[in-house]
Amino acid sequence: MSATKASRIGEEIWKTRIDKVNAELVTLTYGTIVAQLCQDYNSDYQEVNKQLEKMGHNIGMRLIEDFLAKSGVGRCANFRETADMIAKVGFKIFLNVAPTVTNWTSDNNQFSLIFDENPLADFVELPDDGRAQDELWFSNILCGVLRGALEMVQMQIEAHFVSDVLRGDDTTEMRVSLVRYIEDEMPPEEE
Which residues would be at the binding site for another protein (CB under 8 A)?
Answer: 58, 61-62, 64-66, 68-69, 73-75, 152-154, 184-188
What's the helix, strand, coil split of the chain in %, to 5?
50, 15, 35
What's the min distance (Å) between Cβ of 61 and another protein?
A: 5
Question: Distance (Å, rounded) from C-alpha 48 to C-alpha 135?
Answer: 10
Q: DSSP states of 35-71 as a string?
A: HHHHHHTTT-HHHHHHHHHHHHHHHHHHHHHHHHHHH
Residue closer to another protein by CB (options 54, 167) is: 54
Residue closer to another protein by CB (options 19, 125) is: 19
Residue closer to another protein by CB (options 33, 152) is: 152
What's the min distance (Å) between Cβ of 144 and another protein?
A: 13
Cβ-based burial of 32 (10 A; exposed 0-12, middle 13-18, buried ≥19): exposed
Residue closer to another protein by CB (options 153, 165) is: 153
What's the min distance (Å) between Cβ of 3 and another protein?
A: 20
What's the min distance (Å) between Cβ of 82 and another protein?
A: 11
Q: DSSP states of 17-35 as a string?
A: T-----HHHHHHHHHHHHH
